[in-house]
């Protein structure tokens, strides 16, 4: 038995309000990223095939070395003809190709991707990346590994079993054994909605299939370019979220993250707003500026930015040409945990999204996809 003793901290009568110590926003420039891509490409191929560097915020501490407190972001390079070894972990991923092309084998399917394509990886599903082209392949991978590491529950399998579906666990032991079934089941306890659930239901929740999905940039661009027609009077943001239906009401690409593609027409300035979810932007066309907690930072195509540390007031503006960007936020995680405070208009009170009514824009209805 451990000799360590629990610490008791008396908070009697004390205010629980704390001054927030927000991580500062920062930009990793295209030049810095290109230099690291070259450095990785010059390395010999490791045994697992993964040439990888993490983008680590200077305020991050182990465990959980992320660019945002709960978001691991890595830069991955494969040279022509190379492939990674099979790998799985209990984190979910958003992958984004910023250079070259290739394919990924994941969840029993092959996803052929090109520059600026996005695809997701379900949790604990074996995958490998392949570069069958004659060009360098460069990917950004966003995962919730940093969050899991903070919880001390991040699980990695460097040698996943071959030929076994990660989603097929066979017949659960005891499912039809009456000795292992409660005769009472799940039932309502009180008129106001409190229920009781037995153990065998607790350990066998409803399974929802988690698919690997692919959003090709060529198709996505066609849809978001139509949003320019909304005009300069539109007060929302011109974007589409790459939605994974298994996330349901939490509006995600994975259960932890949403991924959106945004187009900003020239000389558009967003309204300042804030949210408890953190946001990371990769700009791949155009240039502009972001103002975060009063600090103005300029960016250009090829730059990566932690653009919204949680609950920091921020807004973005484009300069003289159209801006395209990928934004990844941990909004679904906050929706699931009922912690997503969002303040769309700083003149109005924040709303707890998912539990309260959210916000509207001055747009009457959705533009239908054609």
**Domain assignment present for 274:** yes
How many CB atoms are closer than 10 A to CB 184? 8
User: What's the rounded Cα separation, in Å, for the pair 83 and 76?
Assistant: 12
User: What's the rounded Cα separation, in Å, for the pair 312 and 314?
Assistant: 6
Q: Are residues 246 and 127 in the same domain?
A: no
How many CB atoms are closer than 10 A to CB 176? 9
Tell me the CATH number at 134: 2.60.120.10
Q: CA angle, corner 309, sides to 307 and 312, nearest 5? A: 95
Place of tokens 């000795």: 179
- In three-state form (DSSP H/G/I as H, E/B as E, the rest C), the secondary structure along 95-163 is EEEEECCEEEEECCEEEEECCCCEEEECCCCCEEEECCCCCCEEEEEEECHHHHHHCCCCCEECCCCCC
**Domain assignment present for 195:** no
- Number of helices followed by number of strands (H, E) in the chain: 5, 25
- What is the SS3 assignment for 74? strand
Q: Which of 312, 359, 354, 331 is nearest to 260 (CA)?
A: 331
Q: Are residues 261 and 339 in the same domain?
A: yes
Q: Are residues 127 and 227 in the same domain?
A: no
Between the two ends of the chain, the Cα-to-Cα distance in Å is 65
**Domain assignment present for 5:** no
Average pLDDT, rounded, for the chain: 91
For the chain, give the percent of residues with pLDDT over 90: 79
pLDDT of residue 108: 86
Q: Which of 325, 230, 224, 318 is nearest to 266 (CA)?
A: 318
Place of tokens 């994974």: 244
**Domain assignment present for 359:** no
Which of 110, 130, 157 is where one domain is finished?
A: 157
Q: What confidence category does residue 172 fall into, taking pLDDT thresholds of 50, 70 and 90?
A: low
**Domain assignment present for 1:** no
Q: Are residues 120 and 223 in the same domain?
A: no
Reported as a single tens digit per residue, the pLDDT across 229-283 is: 887 777 778 999 999 999 999 999 999 999 999 999 999 999 999 999 999 999 9
Q: Are residues 309 and 237 in the same domain?
A: yes
pLDDT of residue 367: 47
User: What's the rounded Cα separation, in Å, for the pair 322 and 262?
Assistant: 10
Q: Find residue 145's DSSP bridge partners.
A: none
pLDDT at 178 over 70: no
User: What's the rounded Cα separation, in Å, for the pair 266 and 15?
Assistant: 47
User: What's the rounded Cα separation, in Å, for the pair 29 and 237?
Assistant: 24
**Domain assignment present for 369:** no
Q: Are residues 236 and 334 in the same domain?
A: yes
pLDDT at 221 over 50: yes
pLDDT of residue 166: 45
pLDDT at 170 over 90: no
Q: Are residues 341 and 218 in the same domain?
A: yes
DSSP state of 356: B
Domain with 278 in it: 214-345
How many CB atoms are closer than 10 A to CB 136? 17
Q: Are residues 150 and 46 in the same domain?
A: yes
**Domain assignment present for 180:** no
Helix (H) or strand (E) segment spanning residue 187? strand 187-188
**Domain assignment present for 165:** no
User: What's the rounded Cα separation, in Å, for the pair 292 and 48?
Assistant: 39
Which of 132, 157, 182 is where one domain is finished?
A: 157
Q: Are residues 151 and 243 in the same domain?
A: no
Which of 110, 134, 157 is where one domain is finished?
A: 157
Q: Are residues 152 and 260 in the same domain?
A: no
pLDDT at 94 over 70: yes
Number of domains in the chain: 2
- What is the SS3 assignment for 32? helix
Q: What is the pTM of this model?
A: 0.92
User: What's the rounded Cα separation, in Å, for the pair 283 and 263?
Assistant: 10
Q: Are residues 135 and 219 in the same domain?
A: no
**Spatial contact of 261 and 366, defined as CB atoms under 8 Å apart:** no
Average pLDDT over every residue of 300-317: 96
Q: Are residues 221 and 139 in the same domain?
A: no
Reported as a single tens digit per residue, the pLDDT across 4-54 is: 899 999 999 999 888 888 999 999 999 999 999 999 999 999 999 999 999
pLDDT at 340 over 60: yes
Place of tokens 């029993």: 108
């Amino acid at each position: 038995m451990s000799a360590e003793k629990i610490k008791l901290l008396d908070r009697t009568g004390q205010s629980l309000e704390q001054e927030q110590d927000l991580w500062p926003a920062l930009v990793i420039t295209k030049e810095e990223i290109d230099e690291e891509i070259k450095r990785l490409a010059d390395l010999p191929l490791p045994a697992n095939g993964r040439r990888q560097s993490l983008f680590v915020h200077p305020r991050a501490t182990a465990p959980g070395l992320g660019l945002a407190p709960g978001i691991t972001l890595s830069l991955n390079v494969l040279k022509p003809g190379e492939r990674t070894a099979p790998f799985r972990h209990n984190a979910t991923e958003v992958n984004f190709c910023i250079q070259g092309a290739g394919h990924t084998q994941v969840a029993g399917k092959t996803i052929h991707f090109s520059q600026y394509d996005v695809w997701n990886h379900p949790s604990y599903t074996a995958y490998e990346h392949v570069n069958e082209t004659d060009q360098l392949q460069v990917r950004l991978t966003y995962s919730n590994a940093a969050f899991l590491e903070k919880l001390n529950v991040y699980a990695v399998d460097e040698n996943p079993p071959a030929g076994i579906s990660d989603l097929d666990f066979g017949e659960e032991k005891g499912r039809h054994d009456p000795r292992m079934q409660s005769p009472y089941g799940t039932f309502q306890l009180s008129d106001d909605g409190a229920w009781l659930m037995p153990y065998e239901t607790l350990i066998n929740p409803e399974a929802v299939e988690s698919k690997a999905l692919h959003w090709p940039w060529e198709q996505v661009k066609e849809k978001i370019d139509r949003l320019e027609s909304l005009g300069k009077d539109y007060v929302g943001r011109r974007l589409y979220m790459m939605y994974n239906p298994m996330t349901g009401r939490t509006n995600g690409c994975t259960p932890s993250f949403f991924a959106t593609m945004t187009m900003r027409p020239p000389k558009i300035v967003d309204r300042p707003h804030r949210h408890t979810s953190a946001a990371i932007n990769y700009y791949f066309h155009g240039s502009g500026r972001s103002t975060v907690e009063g600090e103005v930072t300029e960016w250009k195509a090829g730059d990566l930015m932690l653009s919204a540390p949680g609950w920091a007031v921020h807004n973005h503006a484009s300069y003289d040409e159209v801006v395209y960007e990928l934004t990844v936020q941990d909004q679904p995680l906050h929706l699931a945990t009922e912690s997503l405070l969002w303040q769309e208009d700083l003149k109005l009170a924040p709303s707890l999204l998912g539990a309260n009514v959210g916000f509207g824009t001055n747009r009457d209805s959705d533009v239908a996809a054609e």
